[in-house]
């Protein structure tokens, strides 16, 4: 089957998920380990400034790969991607077989559009750790961005086999299947993502877009409405529901949704 070009509405509405990896706290220095634990607690709580401070202290006490990787995560969370990449690379200089650091570096590189290098690092991560479900999923995303959908689907499937409740992998495989025109399989995967993550608005957006592309506008409207209920300020969901209403000939409802989408900042692609 030929691969279809992704429609603009698909680009606007379908959300993929990428996973980072923290690795284990394995320092043999009690003082460094204490600071690393404090850093992890701050990082898990989204307190990136505090996490950065703790990980920098850990590097002063004991410069090691784990601390560089963790500092990279905190810097990335703070939006300092260039600095994060530098620390992931330092982690790999100290520990070339550090699968989590290869994965995290690849995530950062992919986010900057350096897809080929990202793919190489995802593959390195999987060489070191073949059961690394998140790296399989992330490699799938990178391959899909290159249009290599069959390879991407194989990677998402590997991730699901390793982690049966991996909602993001089901979501991403569903998106890839839909790009191939396999809407029935795509909707099945996206439905499983919704079952596993019923409170995630983007899952409903994604399935709604698939239904809309398949011409099932009633089901699409139900999904877009669910997405709006979970995320009332989602301009793309209002716009997509408006398009579904328009296809059904319900112009008043369509115009109301288009107006709300515009009010929320939606811009035509």
Please, what is the average pLDDT of the chain? 90
Average pLDDT over residues 241-269: 95
Residue 245 reports pLDDT greater than 80 = yes
Query: Among 128, 80, 127, which Cα is nearest to 108's?
Result: 80
- As separate numbers, helices (DSSP H) first and strands (DSSP E) second, the chain gives 15, 0
Contact 166, 131 (CB under 8 A): no
Model confidence over 110-165: pLDDT tens digits?
A: 999 999 999 999 999 999 999 999 999 999 999 999 999 999 999 999 999 999 99
Cα–Cα distance between 10 and 154 in angstroms, integer?
A: 22
Cα–Cα distances in Å, from 42 out to 19, 89, 91, 107, 252?
A: 19, 23, 20, 21, 49
By percentage, how much of the chain surpasses pLDDT 90?
Answer: 82
Q: How many CA within 13 A on the CB side of residue 130?
A: 0
Predicted TM-score (pTM) of this structure: 0.85
The DSSP letter of residue 215 is: T
> pLDDT value at position 19?
56
> pLDDT value at position 24?
53
Q: How confident is the model at residue 10 (pLDDT cuts 50, 70, 90)?
A: very low
Model confidence over 171-214: pLDDT tens digits?
A: 999 999 999 999 999 999 999 999 999 999 999 999 999 999 99
Q: How many C-beta atoms lie closer than 10 Å to residue 245's C-beta?
A: 22
Q: Tell me the backbone φ, ψ of residue 6, rounded to 5 degrees.
A: -70, 120
Give the range among 57-66, 70-79, 131-140 with minimum mean pLDDT.
57-66
């Amino acid at each position: 089957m030929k691969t279809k070009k992704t429609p603009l509405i698909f680009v606007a509405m379908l959300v993929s998920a990428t996973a980072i990896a923290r690795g284990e706290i394995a320092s043999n220095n009690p003082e460094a380990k204490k600071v690393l634990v404090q850093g992890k607690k701050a990082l898990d709580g989204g307190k990136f400034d505090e996490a950065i401070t703790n990980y920098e202290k850990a590097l002063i006490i004991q410069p090691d790969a784990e601390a560089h990787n963790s500092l990279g995560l905190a810097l990335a969370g703070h939006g300092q991607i260039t600095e994060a990449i530098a620390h992931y690379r330092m982690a790999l200089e100290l520990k070339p077989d550090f699968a989590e650091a290869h994965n995290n570096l690849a995530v950062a590189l992919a986010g900057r559009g350096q897809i080929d290098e990202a793919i190489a690092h995802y593959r390195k991560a999987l060489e070191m750790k073949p059961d690394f479900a998140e790296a399989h999923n992330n490699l799938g995303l990178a391959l899909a961005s290159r249009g290599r959908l069959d390879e991407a689907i194989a990677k998402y499937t590997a991730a699901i086999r390793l982690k049966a409740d991996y909602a993001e992998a089901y979501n991403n495989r569903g998106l890839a299947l839909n790009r191939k025109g396999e809407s029935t399989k795509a909707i099945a995967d996206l439905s499983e993502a919704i079952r596993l993550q019923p409170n995630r608005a983007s899952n409903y957006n994604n399935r709604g877009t698939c239904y809309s592309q398949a011409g099932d506008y009633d089901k699409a409207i139900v999904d877009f409405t669910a997405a709006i209920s979970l995320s009332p300020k989602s301009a793309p969901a209002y716009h997509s529901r408006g398009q579904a209403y328009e296809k059904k000939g319900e112009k008043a409802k369509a115009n109301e949704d288009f107006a709300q989408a515009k009010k929320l900042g939606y811009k035509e692609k």
